């Protein structure tokens, strides 16, 4: 039996349909990444799975039971996008407060708090007030709190936002260790590299639906182009872009027209054609790069949007 089952879940707020028949499963020891732009329905889905909100239609079960039940909620840990920390308390005092909400035995709490504080790299900051913490440190503390009750299901909503690159990598290592221990992890993220590094499966959401699901490699093979051509220009013009779009109608333009992206199945023939069209328009080319597709390319091809717009 899967750890988490979501079947045909619908949710509306007035006239707005936030979720339109969402289905997914998650096993223990697996990480499923939810990708989608703001308004795609990720936060609504997380609230329903965590028992905070109830669906209008559909089924959500954690080990075959309703997540709205207090006994089932003890099986999950939630790290929300916006933390619920008390600034005037220390890191350790925040953890003590939440351990009491979980109903954890006081005899084991102090050792558990020390262990988790060490695990997330806050050993030297545990006795400091949280108002002195950076954004990344607050995220780390929220992660430690989510692990207090030894969850079987861990829900992480944008867990590395605000972290510097080194702290992000350290947090990725922690998450990989949790997965290896058998915890099922549902990760909502805006970072494509995070999803590619951590996820066993990826579900791309848009406008309240999961439009595709699969491993990162499966999605790139099935929906991505064979190659991506990226061109940076010294100069640009509307005529030049129009000239290129006549041959490459799906041309993606960014950075005010100075960066061009073309998805192609035939890079050997398309690169010379693209360069020729640019030179015909008297456009000065700075760099040309051909690379393999990424999840970002799959997402942009399927939704027409960049994830972090």
Whole-model pTM: value is: 0.86
- Residue 56's pLDDT band (cuts 50, 70, 90): very high
pLDDT in tens, 256-299: 778 888 888 888 889 999 988 888 888 888 999 999 888 888 88
- Identify the pLDDT of residue 308: 60
pLDDT at residue 210 greater than cutoff 90: yes
Q: In this structure, are residues 197 and 172 in contact, taking their beta carbons and an 8 Å threshold?
A: yes
- Identify the pLDDT of residue 297: 85
What is the DSSP track for 52-114? Answer: SS--SEEEEEETTB-TTSHHHHTTEEEE-SS----TTSBHHHHHHHHHHHHT--HHHHHHHHH
Q: In this structure, are residues 32 and 215 in contact, taking their beta carbons and an 8 Å threshold?
A: no
Mean pLDDT, residues 10-28: 96
Mean pLDDT, residues 159-187: 94
- Identify the pLDDT of residue 154: 98
- Identify the pLDDT of residue 8: 98
Mean pLDDT, residues 192-217: 94
pLDDT at residue 159 greater than cutoff 90: yes
**Nearest-angstrom CA–CA distance, 26 and 3:** 6
- Identify the pLDDT of residue 307: 65
- Residue 106's pLDDT band (cuts 50, 70, 90): confident
- Identify the pLDDT of residue 169: 94
Mean pLDDT, residues 62-87: 92
Domains and CATH numbers, the chain: 4-221 (3.40.50.300), 225-292 (3.30.70.100)
If you average pLDDT over every residue of the chain, what do you get? 91
CA distances from 124 to 121, 130, 146, 149, 260 (A): 8, 13, 20, 23, 47
């Amino acid at each position: 039996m899967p750890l988490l089952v979501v079947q045909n879940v619908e949710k509306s707020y007035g006239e707005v349909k936030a979720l339109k028949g969402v289905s997914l499963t998650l096993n223990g020891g697996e990480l499923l990444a939810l990708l989608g732009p703001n308004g795609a329905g990720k936060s609504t889905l997380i609230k329903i799975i965590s028992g905070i909100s109830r669906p209008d239609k559909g089924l959500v079960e954690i080990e075959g039971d309703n997540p709205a039940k207090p006994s089932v909620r003890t099986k999950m840990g939630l790290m929300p996008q916006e933390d619920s920390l008390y600034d005037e308390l220390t890191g350790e005092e925040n953890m003590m407060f939440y351990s009491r909400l979980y109903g954890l035995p006081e005899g084991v709490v102090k050792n558990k708090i020390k262990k988790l504080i060490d695990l997330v790299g806050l050993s030297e900051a545990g006795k400091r007030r949280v108002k002195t913490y950076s954004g990344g440190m607050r995220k780390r503390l929220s992660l430690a709190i989510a692990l207090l009750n030894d969850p079987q299901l861990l829900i992480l909503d944008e867990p590395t936002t605000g972290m510097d690159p080194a702290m992000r990598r350290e947090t990725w290592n922690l998450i990989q260790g949790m997965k290896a221990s058998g915890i099922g992890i549902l990760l909502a993220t805006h970072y494509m590299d995070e999803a590619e590094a951590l996820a066993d499966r990826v579900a791309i959401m848009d406008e309240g639906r999961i439009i595709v699901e699969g491993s990162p490699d499966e999605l790139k093979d099935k929906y991505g182009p064979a190659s991506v051509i990226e061109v940076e220009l010294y100069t640009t013009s509307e005529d030049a872009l129009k000239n290129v779009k006549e041959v490459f109608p799906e041309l993606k333009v960014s950075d005010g027209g100075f960066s061009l992206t073309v998805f192609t199945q035939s890079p050997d023939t398309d690169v010379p054609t693209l360069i020729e069209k640019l030179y015909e328009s008297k456009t000065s080319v700075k760099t040309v790069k051909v690379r393999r597709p990424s999840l970002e390319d799959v997402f942009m091809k399927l939704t027409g949007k960049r994830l972090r717009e």
